[in-house]
Amino acid sequence: MIRATVWGENVHEQTSEVVREIYPKGIHNAIADGLAEDKDIQTRTATLQEKEHGLTEDVLNDTDVLLWWGHAAHDKVEDDIVSRVHKHVLEGMGLLVLHSGHYSKIFRRLMGTTCSLCWREAGEKERLWVCNPGHPIARGIDRYFEIEHTEMYGEPFGIPVPDEQIFISWFAGGEVFRSGATWTRGNGKVFYFRPGHETYPIYYHDDVKRVLKNGVKWAAPEGSRWVDSAPNIPVEKAPEPITSWGESVH
């Protein structure tokens, strides 16, 4: 079983009647329910309002892939928790950053760039083209899929050049956007996936759910998690016998 934790800031669900109607259990639970359709994925959720934002060491140690949905409260996420998530990604925990999570502290720290983009809320159509049909994240998707009503995100997207480009979106208004892209950071795999505006029922869309399930499976760690602690290997522990020579300041 792959252990997925869906993190949601859970703010719009409290403040907007429109969002509450679409996602009565919260966006994080809708995402988790979609993932749980796959018998190989075990889900749990965590939210901003919980102690340590629900992302304790124990939870992260027990998480293969973390999904991140935030929009209105990026600056409310404690820096200590961001550092903790960052460390777990470098060690090998997978991370899926969704939609407005492009501006989250954790994504910007991992990318090292602005992660800026342009946007428009007009409920226009989006067509997501598959750039890389052989990639496991695109498995089961045809040449493209469409979302009838969505928010537009457009280029330039302030990200480092992706390791792999999985989707490019075209919008009815004419813009395009790199809407599905991957990177590795340390041992961790990172997948950014654009769809998911809170006032449209996008996380119930079959192809969106399929990509998220594929993404979780792709991002799950393949080996053991590795901790970068820069250990000293003393002379007597060298794999081959050696004699120490010269002075050391350590």
In the structure encoding, which two tokens stand for residue 105, read together? 């502290």
Residue 16 or 42 having the CB closest to Zn ion:
16
For residue 13, state whether it binds Zn ion (rule: CB under 5 A). Answer: no
Residue 19 or 166 having the CB closest to Zn ion:
19
- Stretch near Zn ion under the rule CB under 5 A, chosen from 32-40, 55-63, 166-174, 192-200: 192-200
Rounded to a whole number of angstroms, the minimum distance from the CB of residue 197 to Zn ion is 4
Rounded to a whole number of angstroms, the minimum distance from the CB of residue 95 to Zn ion is 19
- Restricted to residues 25-64, the positions that interact with Zn ion (CB under 5 A) are none
SS3 158: coil
- Exactly one of 9, 91, 151, 175 binds Zn ion (CB under 5 A); which one? 151
- Stretch near Zn ion under the rule CB under 5 A, chosen from 102-110, 133-141, 149-157, 232-240: 149-157
Do 100 and 70 touch, CB atoms closer than 8 A?
yes
Do 2 and 65 touch, CB atoms closer than 8 A?
yes
Cis peptide before 239 (omega within 30 of 0): no
Do 103 and 76 touch, CB atoms closer than 8 A?
no
For residue 126, state whether it binds Zn ion (rule: CB under 5 A). Answer: no
Residue 103 or 170 having the CB closest to Zn ion:
103
Candidates 187, 219, 15, 16; CA nearest to 98 is 219
Rounded to a whole number of angstroms, the minimum distance from the CB of residue 138 to Zn ion is 23
Do 85 and 37 touch, CB atoms closer than 8 A?
no
- Exactly one of 3, 53, 197, 210 binds Zn ion (CB under 5 A); which one? 197
Rounded to a whole number of angstroms, the minimum distance from the CB of residue 198 to Zn ion is 6
89 to 118: interface string for Zn ion, x by CB under 5 A: -----------x------------------
For residue 9, state whether it binds Zn ion (rule: CB under 5 A). Answer: no
In the structure encoding, which two tokens stand for residue 92, read together? 């090998």
Bridge-based pairing of strands 164-171 and 118-130 is antiparallel
Residue 28 or 197 having the CB closest to Zn ion:
197
The contacts of residue 158 (CB under 8 Å, 6+ apart) are 113, 114, 115, 116, 117
Residue 151 or 175 having the CB closest to Zn ion:
151
For 60, phi and psi rounded to 5 degrees? Answer: -70, -35
Residue 5 or 150 having the CB closest to Zn ion:
150
Do 17 and 24 touch, CB atoms closer than 8 A?
no
Rounded to a whole number of angstroms, the minimum distance from the CB of residue 9 to Zn ion is 12
Q: CA–CA separation, 206 vs 47, rounded Å?
A: 24
SS3 84: helix
Task: Tell me the residue nearest to Zn ion as measured from the CB.
Answer: 197
Q: Which residues bind Zn ion (CB under 5 A)?
A: 100, 151, 197
